[in-house]
A = this chain, B = another copy of it.
Amino acid sequence: MNKRKIYLDYAATTSVDPLVFKAMLPYFREKYGNPGSLHKFGQEAIAALDKAREIIAKSIGANFNEIIFTGSATEASNLALRGIIKTLRIFDAGKIGKNQKYLIQNPRIIISAIEHESILETAKDLEQDGIEVIFIPVNKEGVVDLREIKKSLNDQTVLISVMYANNEIGVIEPISEIAKIISEFKKNKKQIYPLFHTDAVQAFQFLDCNVNNLGVDLMTLSAHKIYGPKGVGLLYAKGLKPLSNELARKGILFNNSFLKPIITGGGQEFGFRSGTENIPLIVGFARAIQLVGQKKLKELKRMRKIKDFFYKELRKAFSDVQIFNCYNTLPNIISVYFPGFSAQDVLIKLDQEGIEVSSGSACLMRAATKSHVLGALGFKNERILGNVRFSFGRYTKKDDIKELIKRLKKVLFN
């Protein structure tokens, strides 16, 4: 009785697309040079790196030198938050414990209450260092409160980070509206701060991620959520200027840069992220981004149809099912609660039936902590613990949804 496996956890991770894999392949064993080497092998590696950076920059409307490759999206978001705060710190070297200062007296960071752990935990960590962190609530639909953002802005605010689309519930945030609020604030106050960062990891597949249209200063992307390899992410940073190791140590007053590296060494990635460049993964990342670009609109439509179909079939099959806001959300994520069933129950039983889904963030599963995202929506305990996230992807067909409904019935009615 070997049932067809159906993977519906695309928001956790995806398989590497065959075309992406094909692009990566030569760089493992043939063109394996270190871009730091002067010889032809090294030059070949630099050329591949440059080409990947160019493809990606172009696809989001950025400049070549505004892309910093990292080891993960988590690292990219850490770089955004920590790297900005780091530029503000002034130390009297050798006099620690006496004279630590910030260029801005009481630096403030504003984040939404439903950020990914990579932002949330990093902000909380910076809070330990005396940075003020303001958490912006969301409404029942999961959308951040724009008036609260406006109210929270002050002349000490250095960064606002709001995710483009949420990984647990798929809700899409009004990024360009927030950008306008910030831009107006800066104009009025004649300030260069605050900078605006968005985590577009989940959004990239389906939404417009042109940084100029969005009006963001910083953006995090990941490869393994878009059929690229695990182990590579990037930070877009507007107007970034290459940094020497010496300048990187000095900070904003000296080099006019708003970012300092959090991983230092050989000075790769224009000085903003040291470590031998991971050519195979970076090449794969660029190919994955290209492929998403080619398929974006078509996939968006296809996915919407699948989601609609699932929505209707769910309602038909389970009269008391609770489905989270189906409209202002990504077309591939749908959050569902079957009253009386814990998520763990549903997950394990579906798993036995060959269907793989999640309760929310993969990161949360391991820590076995309760979702802060669902908490921010005002959900009650039972609803939080019962949340099942279905996330669809490139290989999901209407037939899979029919099977899903069939097996769900078996699992929940028996």
A residues at B contact (CB < 8 Å): 7, 9, 12-16, 18, 21, 28-30, 32-42, 70-75, 77-78, 89, 91-97, 100-102, 105-107, 116-119, 121-122, 124-125, 127-132, 224, 229-233, 244-245, 248-250, 262-268, 274-281, 344, 347-348, 350-351, 356-359, 361-367
- A264–B122 touching, CB < 8 Å: yes
Q: With CB as the reference atom, state the residue of chain B lying closest to A271.
A: B367
Given contacts A7-B41, A100-B97, contact A281 B231 (CB under 8 A): yes
Known: A96-B102, A97-B100. A9 touches B34 (CB 8 A): yes
Contact yes or no, A265 B7, CB < 8 A: no
How far does the alpha carbon of A92 sit from the alpha carbon of B125 in the complex, in Å? 13
Contact for A34 among B105, B245, B357, B362, CB less than 8 A: B362
Of all chain B residues, the one with the shortest Cβ separation from A277 is B230
CB pair A367 B244 closer than 8 Å: yes
Q: Is the CB of B102 within 8 A of A344?
A: no
A356/B39 in contact, CB under 8 A: yes
- Name, among A122, A278, A350, the residue most crowded by chain B CB atoms within 10 Å (CB to CB): A278
**Inter-chain contact B71/A117, CB cutoff 8 Å:** no
Q: Which residues of B contact A91 (CB under 8 A)?
A: 128-130
Decide: A117 near B267, CB < 8 A? Known: A9-B39, A100-B100, A102-B97. Answer: yes
Query: Given A249-B128, A275-B74, is A363 in contact with B266 using a C-beta cutoff of 8 Å?
Result: yes
Contact between B37 and A12 (Cβ–Cβ < 8 Å)?
A: yes
A121–B271 Cα distance when bound, in Å, is: 11
A73 x B275 contact (CB < 8 A): yes
A265 in complex: contacting residue of B30, B78, B245, CB < 8 Å: B78
Contacting pair A35 B102 (CB below 8 A): no
Counting chain B CB atoms within 10 Å of each CB, the highest count among A13, A224, A248 belongs to A13
Given contacts A29-B21, A33-B13, A75-B275, contact A117 B265 (CB under 8 A): yes
Hey, which chain B residues are within 8 Å of A12, CB to CB? Answer: 33-34, 36-37, 42
A19 to chain B, nearest CB (A): 11
Minimum C-beta distance from A11 to chain B (A): 10
Give chain B residues whose Cβ lies under 8 Å from the Cβ of A30: 15
Given contacts A39-B350, A72-B278, 17 further A-B contacts (CB under 8 A): A9-B34, A13-B33, A13-B37, A16-B32, A38-B344, A39-B351, A71-B278, A72-B275, A74-B276, A78-B274, A118-B265, A121-B265, A231-B231, A244-B367, A262-B262, A266-B366, A268-B366
- Residue among A116, A231, A262 with max Cβ neighbours from chain B (10 Å): A231
A-B pairs with beta carbons under 8 Å apart, 28 shown? A16-B28, A34-B362, A35-B362, A36-B362, A37-B365, A38-B344, A42-B356, A71-B72, A74-B263, A74-B276, A77-B265, A78-B262, A78-B264, A97-B102, A116-B265, A117-B245, A121-B266, A122-B264, A128-B249, A224-B276, A230-B280, A231-B231, A231-B232, A262-B263, A266-B364, A266-B366, A274-B363, A276-B362
**Chain B residues, CB < 8 A from A245:** 117, 121, 124, 367
Asked if residues A366 and B36 are in contact (CB atoms below 8 Å), the reply is yes
The answer on a CB contact under 8 Å between A122 and B265 is yes
